[in-house]
Chains A and B, each alone.
Chain A
């Protein structure tokens, strides 16, 4: 067993437990977007940051990827953590304001406005769909492409994947509800789970002959 302190409370966890699991096990609420039980931790959204260490050596780490260490002192809601988390939420709101999940997180943290130029993007590249496809559905049909601002999720060379079974696992896990699987024939859409009241896809160009992950939802338009 590994003993550590979270917000001053002594916690004992098994070796290999992440800080996120440890904190959640004693009831601290930690916001996450890219984390899902059953999928490998990835550390993309950075929302779950916690502060570890002391003095000059104190730093923020993503708790979903950081393993519990003996004697570690962890703060889940220090000023530094909250400042970072609120800024991340602002960034999320600035880019993907229509996501119910993000709106809820913002509300929970009392972030009511963002100060950047407003964008309307669908995907936050959290990679849940990629991991779902690979790790749970054993398909690996989609993955990340490009880097920096050109990073996106899709199939290699945008060619329809032969290993995709249209299982819909990707959209099931999507936190911003944008990767909705419809295949290239809207009438064969298998999505129905979208609860977004104003789907971002309505305004966009009609769906063309592409893999579902590439383009926004048409399912929302098909009642």
Chain B
């Protein structure tokens, strides 16, 4: 490389390089930053080179190795220029096919990126949603250059901004341009860069001035600076050169993390090349301007990213912040005036001089111009670096670019700004991302880390994690930062380990405010953000940890114990009965189930088994233990009489009324009766059982099982009064008049929601609840001919499968507005329905019901396509114009949802009961209290249609609350954590044996025999299968229990 001695010479070289560039030859671009190399980019590079050499293609195909392009999730990836084809997760084996395709100017379809929600492939990078919605001014430059080849950078227009500035010869103009661009510091605080430069330019330069590039990127989960340094180091050098020219700085320093070896290597190479070419050092491009840059490696302290600590670290002293003022522009490195800017800020400078300051100011919003790179990580589909214009909303980044939640769990919050930032809840995802809005919401922009959290993330644990990080990374100088973070950690630890009290919360909040108030540097001042922002938006979760001793995300070990037990709404010790089954102790197993659940046989058939969703076996890659099936095995094989309920010897005199004999009402009655209360249960139907009886079809839950279990619960303390309807035959008010001391309302949700379409009152159109009730209670068959069921929940599937079994039904179709994956019904139910021959029509919505003589003849549907993500993280169904089609129907069953019948409650509104806008009863969810003292409510009447187990849980809770109410005790009390307490000796197996066993599936009656009959579809397990299944359990409980012999 020959040293360039004038600006003209430079321009000549650059023009020549650009002219020499062949434009029609395809280039294979391989991103090989640290992330790419870690996922195997080096193998890809080798494979591509080998293929090119072997087939002698070096004149036909070029190869360029670059830094990261941002889509880290899909690495190792390949980008083909000029076509723009993108191949994600490339295997070296596929390289020959890809190269063949390039030569034929086509693509290898099966290797392209696939949109899983639609199932189609997308060839061009710019069409992929992840890239499409970004404005990639900085990252896209990394695609154009090989970081270790300066000619590559020159060819892409590099150093043109510097040459232009030198040519113009007016440093003041340069400062002014940066001011006009409105660029604000990308390190997090957002100080206007131009202003900072102006301060420095105004300082006397006789003793020298410093420019520093802060590349001490230490936030967990943030790596945009690394990626820019690795992928385009010359852009930083050019930015600093322009800055030095503008401000008269003489020395430059890049302070880079020691943990970024590749970035440092590329930077050192780039510096050497720039020096050789005369772009750095004495008399740059033959002018009188001189400037050189040193690289200093940070030793790994997070606090050294703070500018005053960074200065001390550069000076070789301990990285410890000092009081500002004096600001670094007055007194910086070695006491000389200094400007410190972040990597991304420097990378923006060449952009400003390339596109023009005014143009730059147009990007983003007023006061927040330009783009910002975020590293989007966590529980989101597309992780990687995302560059967006300022002012875009969080929701757009998380859902549109990030693709929403990675699994089925809904997204809960996003943490911005690293340890010093805060958590922003999903309800605030409309917040535009700029320095000021984020600060207002209690977070910070920070350097741009963005960690997405879903329901499996515990917010208290997250706060603890960050405070732990900060207590280690605080420099320790300020007493309140050092001790304050330690004490905050201690308080959070107490809360997550079950020792928390409400005083902990007050103290934590008070301390957090003082820490923010009394510390010197940015680290301490923002150290409280993780705590304060989570307290602000997720206080409920903290209180749940403290009072209910429950961690809803199943993260805090000491509160969760065994996840199966913690997730069960009634705290069934699943681990315990599974352990007993593995030892062949079936009676003990039954007793342990029955202690917590008065309806074990029912739950063994229809429970939505939340326990299985959190089973550690399932979360560690295997399939979860078939807990519900094991429960079924126990209840099928043990005589219920082995369980003798523990009755209180005390007799209570206070009478309790329970309205509704569904699972919730009967559970409350049962547990109140055990406590000695005389209970009266009022039921509007002729038989107890509620929805279990009227809506769940017999092929899922045989009626004799139901009847037996309900009869076993009714005892001498419980009086059952059937055919008595709330609101008509009696009111809550009249119950109190009759001497009842407390009332539990569990009347369920009995009214089907309507479509609000014309013709809904026609014959043949009916809500699913009416249809199911008519059949289950009285055997009336309302379906005939061609049947359509609108909805995607369990009641839709139940209605469809029941209809299929009725006489005169020819065909049944379930019509749902979203995709099959998003159907709320149980997966196994949908699967069984499809097996039985029911057609599933998804992404359709009804628009018109056609009738003739008051009878339905068909329904007009419109097809939906998937639109943008909504706040639940699901893609919104959007109607497609002109996609309407007609479906001839004889029966239309509407199963879109149910609501409580408000008429039953109306007479009591005066008494204090309140109805929400969803027509449900308003209760205090912690105590189940309604607006009137002594009245409690639970189950579907409060939640809307919900599961059986949720109703049972409410019934249990109501029994406890009513007992406390009658005794005049505080209703909400600090609970005991539900962690395993009983030791059950493990069944001896060796590990190989356990590893080989696969989950046992419950056998089903063959479709032929079942699709027209109501025999129970699921069959029981054999003894051997049950034992096999039981020993799959990882026995999470053993961590918490000790054998009797070892107890002290």
Residues of A within 8 A of B (CB): 42-46, 49, 59-62, 65-67, 80, 83-84, 87-88, 91-92, 94-95, 115-117, 124-127, 143-144, 146-151
Contact A43 B487 (CB under 8 A): no
Contact B325 A151 (CB under 8 A): no
Bound Cα distance A147, B309 (Å)? 12
Q: Kindly list chain B residues whose C-beta atoms are within 8 Å of the C-beta of A42.
A: 477
Contact A87 B486 (CB under 8 A): no
The reply on B1001 being an interface residue by CB < 8 A is no
A183 CB → nearest B CB, Å = 26
Q: Kindly list chain A residues whose C-beta atoms are within 8 Å of the C-beta of B517.
A: 49, 59-60, 80, 84
Q: Kindly list chain A residues whose C-beta atoms are within 8 Å of the C-beta of B480.
A: 46, 84, 87-88, 91
A60, A117, A125: the one contacting B479 at CB < 8 Å is A125
13 further interface pairs, Cβ-Cβ under 8 Å (given A116-B490, A126-B479, A148-B482): A43-B520, A46-B479, A59-B517, A83-B510, A87-B480, A91-B484, A91-B487, A125-B477, A144-B318, A147-B301, A148-B470, A148-B475, A151-B476
Q: Kindly list chain B residues whose C-beta atoms are within 8 Å of the C-beta of A91.
A: 479-480, 483-484, 487
Bound Cα distance A163, B471 (Å)? 33
Bound Cα distance A1, B514 (Å)? 33
With known contacts A84-B514, A115-B507, A146-B476, A151–B482 Cβ distance under 8 A = yes
With known contacts A88-B518, A94-B487, A148-B472, A66–B323 Cβ distance under 8 A = yes
With known contacts A46-B519, A144-B476, A149–B482 Cβ distance under 8 A = yes
Q: Which of A67, A84, A124 has the most chain B CB atoms closer than 10 A to its own CB?
A: A84
The reply on B13 being an interface residue by CB < 8 A is no
Contact B474 A88 (CB under 8 A): no
With known contacts A80-B517, A87-B510, A43–B478 Cβ distance under 8 A = yes
With known contacts A43-B323, A45-B479, A117-B490, A88–B514 Cβ distance under 8 A = yes
- Closest residue of B by beta carbon distance from A41: B323
Q: Kindly list chain B residues whose C-beta atoms are within 8 Å of the C-beta of A124.
A: 479
A172 CB → nearest B CB, Å = 21
Bound Cα distance A44, B479 (Å)? 6
The reply on B354 being an interface residue by CB < 8 A is no
Q: Which of A88, A92, A127 has the most chain B CB atoms closer than 10 A to its own CB?
A: A88
The reply on B303 being an interface residue by CB < 8 A is yes
Bound Cα distance A115, B319 (Å)? 32
- Closest residue of B by beta carbon distance from A61: B323
With known contacts A88-B480, A91-B480, A95-B483, A147–B514 Cβ distance under 8 A = no
Q: Kindly list chain B residues whose C-beta atoms are within 8 Å of the C-beta of A94.
A: 487
Q: Kindly list chain B residues whose C-beta atoms are within 8 Å of the C-beta of A62.
A: 323, 520
The reply on B711 being an interface residue by CB < 8 A is no
A65, A126, A147: the one contacting B475 at CB < 8 Å is A147
Q: Which 8 A-B pairs have the closest CB atoms?
A: A151-B476, A87-B514, A65-B323, A148-B472, A148-B474, A46-B518, A84-B518, A91-B483
B476, B483, B486, B487: the one contacting A147 at CB < 8 Å is B476
Q: Which of B470, B471, B477, B520 has the most chain A CB atoms closer than 10 A to its own CB?
A: B477
Bound Cα distance A146, B507 (Å)? 28
Bound Cα distance A78, B331 (Å)? 32
Chain B interface extent, by class: 35 or more
The reply on B51 being an interface residue by CB < 8 A is no
Q: Which of B303, B471, B480 has the most chain A CB atoms closer than 10 A to its own CB?
A: B480
Q: Which of B475, B482, B503, B513 has the most chain A CB atoms closer than 10 A to its own CB?
A: B482
- Closest residue of B by beta carbon distance from A94: B487
Bound Cα distance A87, B479 (Å)? 11
User: What are 5 A-B residue pairs whose CB atoms fall within 8 Å in the complex?
Assistant: A60-B518, A83-B514, A84-B517, A147-B301, A148-B482
Residues of B within 8 A of A (CB): 301, 303, 318-320, 323, 325, 470-480, 482-487, 490, 503, 507, 510-511, 513-514, 517-520
Contact A125 B487 (CB under 8 A): no
Bound Cα distance A148, B467 (Å)? 11
Bound Cα distance A94, B511 (Å)? 13
- Closest residue of B by beta carbon distance from A86: B514
Q: Kindly list chain B residues whose C-beta atoms are within 8 Å of the C-beta of A146.
A: 476
Bound Cα distance A146, B472 (Å)? 10
Bound Cα distance A124, B478 (Å)? 10
Q: Kindly list chain A residues whose C-beta atoms are within 8 Å of the C-beta of B325.
A: 67
With known contacts A60-B518, A66-B323, A91-B487, A147–B303 Cβ distance under 8 A = yes
B360 CB → nearest A CB, Å = 29
Bound Cα distance A144, B478 (Å)? 13
Bound Cα distance A149, B472 (Å)? 6
- Closest residue of B by beta carbon distance from A60: B517
Bound Cα distance A66, B503 (Å)? 35
Bound Cα distance A92, B487 (Å)? 11
Bound Cα distance A88, B479 (Å)? 8
Bound Cα distance A46, B507 (Å)? 19
Bound Cα distance A100, B318 (Å)? 31
- Closest residue of A by beta carbon distance from B504: A115
Bound Cα distance A120, B323 (Å)? 30
Q: Kindly list chain A residues whose C-beta atoms are within 8 Å of the C-beta of B320.
A: 144
With known contacts A116-B487, A117-B490, A147-B473, A87–B519 Cβ distance under 8 A = no
Contact B323 A149 (CB under 8 A): no
Q: Kindly list chain A residues whose C-beta atoms are within 8 Å of the C-beta of B303.
A: 147
- Closest residue of B by beta carbon distance from A33: B479
A43, A49, A95, A147: the one contacting B474 at CB < 8 Å is A147
Bound Cα distance A42, B475 (Å)? 14
A175 CB → nearest B CB, Å = 12
Bound Cα distance A107, B443 (Å)? 37
B502 CB → nearest A CB, Å = 12
Contact B486 A149 (CB under 8 A): yes
Contact B471 A115 (CB under 8 A): no
Q: Kindly list chain A residues whose C-beta atoms are within 8 Å of the C-beta of B475.
A: 147-148, 151
- Closest residue of A by beta carbon distance from B507: A115
Bound Cα distance A151, B318 (Å)? 12
- Closest residue of A by beta carbon distance from B510: A87
Bound Cα distance A143, B476 (Å)? 13
Q: Kindly list chain A residues whose C-beta atoms are within 8 Å of the C-beta of B472.
A: 147-150
Q: Kindly list chain A residues whose C-beta atoms are within 8 Å of the C-beta of B519.
A: 46
Contact B479 A49 (CB under 8 A): no
Q: Kindly list chain B residues whose C-beta atoms are within 8 Å of the C-beta of A149.
A: 471-472, 474, 476, 482, 486
Bound Cα distance A127, B322 (Å)? 14
- Closest residue of B by beta carbon distance from A95: B483
Bound Cα distance A67, B322 (Å)? 13
A125 CB → nearest B CB, Å = 6
A61, A92, A126, A148: the one contacting B471 at CB < 8 Å is A148
B616 CB → nearest A CB, Å = 32
Bound Cα distance A43, B514 (Å)? 16
Bound Cα distance A124, B483 (Å)? 9
Q: Kindly list chain B residues whose C-beta atoms are within 8 Å of the C-beta of A125.
A: 476-477, 479, 482
Q: Kindly list chain B residues whose C-beta atoms are within 8 Å of the C-beta of A44.
A: 477-479
Contact B476 A148 (CB under 8 A): yes
Contact B511 A87 (CB under 8 A): yes
- Closest residue of A by beta carbon distance from B503: A115
Bound Cα distance A80, B472 (Å)? 28
Bound Cα distance A88, B483 (Å)? 9
Contact A49 B518 (CB under 8 A): yes
Q: Which of B479, B511, B519, B520 has the most chain A CB atoms closer than 10 A to its own CB?
A: B479
Q: Kindly list chain A residues whose C-beta atoms are within 8 Å of the C-beta of B486.
A: 149
Bound Cα distance A3, B308 (Å)? 28
Bound Cα distance A182, B511 (Å)? 37
Q: Kindly list chain A residues whose C-beta atoms are within 8 Å of the C-beta of B485.
A: 148
Bound Cα distance A143, B317 (Å)? 11
Bound Cα distance A155, B406 (Å)? 51
Bound Cα distance A217, B486 (Å)? 26
Q: Which of A65, A94, A148, A150 has the most chain B CB atoms closer than 10 A to its own CB?
A: A148
Q: Kindly list chain B residues whose C-beta atoms are within 8 Å of the C-beta of A45.
A: 479
A211 CB → nearest B CB, Å = 19
- Closest residue of B by beta carbon distance from A49: B518
Q: Which of A43, A45, A46 has the most chain B CB atoms closer than 10 A to its own CB?
A: A46
Q: Kindly list chain B residues whose C-beta atoms are within 8 Å of the C-beta of A95.
A: 483
Contact A148 B473 (CB under 8 A): yes
- Closest residue of B by beta carbon distance from A115: B507
